């Protein structure tokens, strides 16, 4: 019995050591690029006669500790593929946390920016126009860890008369995916 315990402990120690090595190798192989395109799902709608609002809060993260990432373009599409908003023609939106906006589209090293669909001039959509897609085109002066984008679907009570947001009713994550990379030098 004592021999089995020693073998078990030795195996456990080796397993923990190998797990750490595997994790380090995975980090070393993370995808790096100079340009990319990220797409995310989303929604923008009113329900219950305007008493509830649903929107998305997107978070953009520069995981590099040394190199800035430029957000070149932001485009929202409705379910039919029609453009709802394009920063190339409408200007760059102001982000909820103020990190990016009309005069600054560069995520400095280690910065994160929050963009809420309520801060973009998007209409509240009919069911035939939902869901939406967000496309983010980004670039960097050298290869960096790719832009990380995540989203949260938020539903809040809303005063139909004033439009004021009230208590949160629901929250969930939405998917984002890198669809194009230019690795460059």
Does residue 176 carry a pLDDT above 90? yes
Binned at pLDDT 50, 70 and 90, residue 27 comes out as very low
Q: Is the same domain home to 140 and 150?
A: yes
CATH code, domain with 141: 2.60.40
**Quick one: 55 and 146 in the same domain?**
yes
**Which residue bears the tokens 């120690």?**
13
Q: How many domains does the chain divide into? A: 2
The verdict on 14 and 99 lying in the same domain is no
Q: What is the spatial distance between Cα 23 and Cα 42, in angstroms, rounded to a whole number?
A: 32
| Statement to judge: residues 64 and 126 lie in one domain | yes
Q: 70 falls in which pLDDT band (50, 70, 90)?
A: very high
In the chain the first and final C-alpha atoms are separated, in Å, by 58
Same domain, 90 and 19: no
118-175 pLDDT tens trace: 999 898 888 889 999 999 999 999 999 999 999 999 999 999 999 999 999 999 999 8
Domain with 15 in it: 1-30
The answer to whether residues 37 and 25 belong to one domain is no
Q: Is the domain of 90 the same as that of 139? A: yes
pLDDT at 50 over 80: yes
What digits encode the pLDDT tens for the residues 94-123? 899 999 999 999 999 999 999 999 999 898
In the beta sheet, which residues pair with residue 156?
53, 168
60 with 118, same domain: the answer is yes
- Residue 147's alpha-carbon distances to 108, 155, 156, 180, in angstroms, are 12, 26, 29, 12
pLDDT at residue 1, as a whole number: 55
20 and 104 in a single domain? The answer is no
Same structural domain, 130 and 144 = yes
101 with 128, same domain: the answer is yes
pLDDT at 2 (0 to 100): 59
Residues 161 and 104 in one domain: yes
pTM equals 0.81
């Amino acid at each position: 019995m004592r021999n089995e315990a020693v073998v078990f402990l030795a195996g456990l120690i080796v397993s923990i050591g190998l797990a750490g090595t595997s994790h380090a190798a995975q980090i070393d192989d993370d995808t790096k690029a100079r340009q990319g395109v990220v797409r995310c799902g989303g929604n923008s709608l009113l329900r219950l006669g305007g008493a509830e609002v649903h929107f998305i809060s997107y978070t953009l993260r520069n995981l590099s500790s040394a190199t800035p990432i430029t957000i070149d373009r932001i485009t929202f599409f409705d379910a039919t593929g029609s453009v709802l908003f394009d920063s190339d023609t409408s200007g760059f939106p102001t982000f909820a946390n103020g990190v990016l906006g009309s005069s600054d589209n560069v995520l400095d090293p280690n910065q994160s920016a929050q963009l809420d669909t309520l801060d973009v001039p998007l209409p509240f959509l009919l069911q035939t126009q939902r869901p939406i897609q967000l496309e983010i085109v980004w670039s960097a002066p050298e290869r960096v860890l790719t832009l990380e984008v995540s989203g949260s679907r938020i539903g809040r009570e809303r005063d139909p008369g004033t439009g004021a947001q009230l208590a949160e009713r629901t929250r969930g994550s939405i998917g984002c995916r890198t669809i194009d990379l230019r690795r460059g030098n």
